[in-house]
Amino acid sequence: MASCIHSFTRPGWPLLLVCLAGAGLLWASMPPLEWWPLVWPALVPWLWATLMLAEQSDSSAPEKNKAHSPPPGKTAVACRWFLRPLGAVWLSAWGFWLAMLYWLLLPHWAGVFGWVALTLYLSLYTWAWVGISAWMVRRLRVPLPLAAGVVWAAGAVVRARLFGGFTLASPAYALYQQLPAIQLAELVGQHGVDLWVVFVSAAAASTLWHALIRRNARTALLAAATGAAVLLAGWGYGYWRLHTLPPPQAPPLKAILVQSSFDTVFGQSRQRILQMHQQCAKLTSQAVAQHPEAQLILWPETMFHPSLEFLKQYPELVSPAFLDQLARLHTQAGKRWLVLGVHAAQYEEVPPPPGSRPQRFNTAVLVSPRGELLARYHKMKPIIFGEYIPLGDYFPWLYRLAPMDQGLAPGPAPATFPLEKTSLVPNICYESILPHLVRRQVNHAARQAQRKKLPRPEVLVNLTNSGWFWGSSELKLHLVSHVFRAVETRRPVLVAANTGISAAVDHRGQILAQGPRRQATFLFVQVHPYAATTPYLAWGDTWAWLCAAAVALAPVLMTWQRFPHKK
């Protein structure tokens, strides 16, 4: 038994297999399986590899007694590297991301390049997390739970911003249905919940290491007690917060979430585009007939298609086709508030010079019960390689290599959609996976409401087109992001999504209603407008940036201490 345990403390196949098993457990803890308790043991193999790496001495690298043996080939060297801690961690992390993001292959065959590139990029964060954490444990004598948590937070805050940002499938996502576990998000955001999970897992890994390998019962007991205390503290805060949150005072906002069902294909015909519009209009008429008490109707992203160019210069120049179709929909909707997803085209000069091309935006518009266009919001974070190609404006020939003829321009600023007694804070598609962006939008809307004496922003709305992913697990992962945005901002969220999953989430993060996958339908939901000033809204990711600064400065301080200084 002892020899079997010690086989996992040396480079070799056992270590690689255990790391791959941990990656499989992490995948199983999230959608589609959602076996959430596995998220803690899933991280233990990577953390075990961290301790192995931290305790490796310089003499453990290449064996000197084999100096006279012939040098191994490149293939043998590569295989040996994958059997070492960092190699095993990177390979297993890459396998996790390949399995988790398989849906990138669905929209177009060219997605295989993005799938490989993105998964390789994301796996580097796990590789760096283990390497830097091991260095901090070995050189700075930082306990593993603290080192792993700090380094993970530093990587998470960078990953959320670099190359447009990506936060899907972080460890916190496994806990989205456990309301007490995610209430920490109002204090430290989604990244803080990640740190909490990593800290507890690192304490478990440290306990096993000192109990089974080092035979240090005192240190093992201390690690176990620390992990248990942090775990219970997180759950305890969540239970306490759920029972002390003030109940909503405002009457419910009654809304209809229109969910069309069209899988996205490149080069869609004009007839197919009009079918999307007609399906949403038909669903709107049915919903209004069944629920005449509804006050607000939401359409998915880019589903309002009256013409090929919808808006040119908002609000001065609006195409006649847009106004005509909007008037028809306004009548079908019974003269209610409408939030529609459209494509917008805006020229820099009016009238536009001959041969000029307009800037194109992914836009949400607010229509009043009187049929007036009151506000619009341009998507601020277009998706890289999905909605634009880097440097494509300077080298237009790049778009000839992709299935799109022009990229989308980013919107200039957040927006507020004022209703009669409350205001909506709009975002579009993957913007909801970025905690810092939604925080900025909510704070901007609050300042604008105070300055212009508008109703307080109390509801988040998201318009999404998930037709790119053909009913895959991506739909549930995207829904999970709305749960965390609701807790971080203490505001309910309404989601209208093509192919699903349309949903309503309350201010506690509980999913009140959700639609099916790949089915045309509508949801009638009621959410109570709610607004609270949370620590995350006030301070954001400041604590995570401090972690990143600590990680960046640690080697600098170590180097500085090595140099002799004159008194």
Q: What average pLDDT does range 24-37 have in this prediction?
A: 95
CA distance 280 to 284: 6
Handedness of CA 401, 404, 406, 409 (dihedral sign): negative
Own/partner contacts of 226-231, CB < 8 Å, gap of 24 or more, are: 226/145, 227/145, 227/199, 227/200, 227/202, 227/203, 228/203, 230/145, 230/196, 230/199, 230/200, 230/203, 231/200
Confidence of residue 193 (pLDDT cuts 50, 70, 90): very high
Confidence of residue 6 (pLDDT cuts 50, 70, 90): low
Hunting for tokens 């080192």 — which residue is that? Answer: 147
CA distance 224 to 237: 20
Identity of the amino acid at 55: E
- Residue 278: pLDDT over 90: no
pLDDT tens string 511-555: 999 999 999 999 999 999 999 899 999 999 999 999 999 999 877
pLDDT of residue 158: 95
Is there a contact between 490 and 530 (Cβ–Cβ < 8 Å)? yes
Q: What is the mean pLDDT of residues 473-485?
A: 95
pLDDT score of 147: 95
Range scoring the smallest mean pLDDT among 127-131, 193-197, 316-320, 453-457 = 316-320
Q: What pLDDT score does 31 carry?
A: 92
pLDDT at residue 392 above 60?
Answer: no
Looking at residue 310, its pLDDT comes to 43
Q: Give the confidence band of 398 by pLDDT, cuts at 50, 70, 90.
A: low
Residue range 9-21, pLDDT digits in tens: 566 678 889 999 9
- Give me 236's structure tokens: 């305890």
Q: How many helices (DSSP H) and strands (DSSP E) are in the chain? A: 16, 14
pLDDT band at 70 (very low <50, low <70, confident <90, very high): low
- Determine which helix (DSSP H) or strand (DSSP E) holds 302, and give its type and residue range: none
* 76, pLDDT greater than 80: no
Residue, of 245 and 323, whose pLDDT is higher: 245
Q: Assess whether pLDDT exceeds 90 at residue 77.
A: no
- 3-class DSSP state for residue 417? strand
pTM beyond 0.85: yes
How much is the pLDDT for 400? 58
Q: Are 521 and 287 a contacting pair, CB within 8 Å? A: no
With bands split at pLDDT 50, 70 and 90, how would you rate the model's confidence at 57?
A: very low
Q: Can you give the pLDDT at residue 354?
A: 67
pLDDT at 347 over 50: yes
Maximum mean pLDDT: which of 25-29, 54-58, 397-401, 454-458: 25-29
Q: Please answer whether residues 234 and 199 qualify as being in contact, where contact means their C-beta atoms are separated by less than 8 angstroms.
A: no
**pLDDT(358) > 90:** no
Sign of CA dihedral 445, 439, 524, 283: positive
Residues in the chain: 567
- Check residue 66 and give its pLDDT: 45
Residue-wise pLDDT for 97-133, tens only, equals 999 999 988 877 777 888 898 999 999 999 999 999 9
Helix (H) or strand (E) holding 38: none
Q: What is the pLDDT of residue 315?
A: 38
According to the model, what pLDDT value does residue 324 have?
75
Q: Is the dihedral of CA 271, 273, 277, 282 positive or negative?
A: positive
Half-sphere exposure of 102 (CA within 13 A, CB side): 11
Mean pLDDT of all residues in 326-338: 85
- Of the chain, the percentage scoring pLDDT greater than 90 comes to 57
Over its C-alpha atoms, the chain yields an Rg (Å, rounded) of 26
Q: What is the DSSP letter of 177?
A: T
Q: Give me the pLDDT at residue 404, please.
A: 58
Least confident interval from 28-42, 186-200, 350-364: 350-364
pLDDT of 67 > 60? The answer is no
CB environment 227-259: b (16+ within 10 A), e (fewer) = beebbeebbebbeebeeeeeebebeebebbbbb
The H-or-E segment that residue 318 falls in is: strand 317-318
Residues 6 or more apart whose CB falls under 8 angstroms from that of 46 comprise 19, 22, 89, 92, 93, 126, 129, 130
From residue 245, how far is each of 184, 238, 391 by CA, in Å? Answer: 13, 11, 47
Beta bridge partners of 378: 363
Query: What is the Cα–Cα distance from 285 to 266, expressed in whole angstroms?
Result: 29
Residue with tokens 């199983």: 28
Task: Work out the mean pLDDT of the chain and round it to a whole number.
Answer: 85
CB 23 within 8 A of CB 95: yes
Question: In the prediction, which pLDDT does 394 show?
Answer: 56
Query: Where does 32-143 have alpha helices with state H?
Result: 39-55, 74-82, 85-100, 111-139
Range with top average pLDDT, 264-268, 322-326, 383-387, 435-439 = 435-439
Longest Cα pair distance anywhere in the chain, in angstroms?
88
Residue 168, Ramachandran bin (φ over 0: left; ψ between -120 and 50: alpha; else beta): beta
Give the pLDDT score at 342: 87
Task: Give backbone dihedrals phi and psi of 78, rounded to 5 degrees, phi first.
Answer: -65, -45
Residue 497 pairs in a beta bridge with: 464
